[in-house]
Chain A
Amino acid sequence: AQSVTQLGSHVSVSEGALVLLRCNYSSSVPPYLFWYVQYPNQGLQLLLKYTTGATLVKGINGFEAEFKKSETSFHLTKPSAHMSDAAEYFCAVSDRNTGGFKTIFGAGTRLFVKA
Chain B
Amino acid sequence: GAGVSQSPSNKVTEKGKDVELRCDPISGHTALYWYRQSLGQGLEFLIYFQGNSAPDKSGLPSDRFSAERTGGSVSTLTIQRTQQEDSAVYLCASSLGLAGGHGGELFFGEGSRLTVL
| B103 with A32: CB separation less than 8 A | yes
Query: A30 contacts the other chain (Cβ, under 8 Å)?
Result: no
Q: Which of A40-60 contact B (CB under 8 A)?
A: 43-46, 49, 51
| B111 with A108: CB separation less than 8 A | no
| B98 with A51: CB separation less than 8 A | yes
Q: Which of B34-58 contact A (CB under 8 A)?
A: 35, 40-43, 45, 48, 50, 55-56
Q: List B contacts of A102 (CB < 8 A).
A: 45, 48, 55-56
| B108 with A105: CB separation less than 8 A | no
Partner-binding segment picked from A14-22, A62-70, A79-87, A93-101: A93-101
The closest CB in chain A to the CB of B100 belongs to A100
Q: Which of B87-117 contact A (CB under 8 A)?
A: 91, 93, 95, 97-99, 103-106, 108-111
A27-40: CB near B (< 8 Å → 1, else 0) gives: 00000101010000
**Docked complex Cα distance between A115 and B31 (Å):** 41
Main secondary structure of the interface of A (DSSP, over half): strand
| B108 with A106: CB separation less than 8 A | no
Query: A9 contacts the other chain (Cβ, under 8 Å)?
Result: yes
A-B contact pairs, 24 of them (CB 8 A): A6-B42, A9-B40, A32-B98, A32-B104, A43-B91, A43-B108, A44-B108, A51-B103, A90-B42, A92-B106, A99-B98, A100-B97, A101-B55, A101-B95, A102-B55, A102-B56, A103-B33, A103-B95, A103-B106, A104-B45, A105-B42, A106-B42, A107-B40, A108-B43
Chain B interface residues toward A at CB < 8 A: 31, 33, 35, 40-43, 45, 48, 50, 55-56, 91, 93, 95, 97-99, 103-106, 108-111
Q: A6-B42, A32-B104, A45-B108 are in contact. List 14 more A-B contacts (CB 8 A).
A: A43-B109, A43-B111, A46-B106, A92-B106, A98-B56, A99-B97, A100-B98, A100-B104, A101-B50, A101-B95, A104-B45, A105-B45, A108-B42, A108-B43
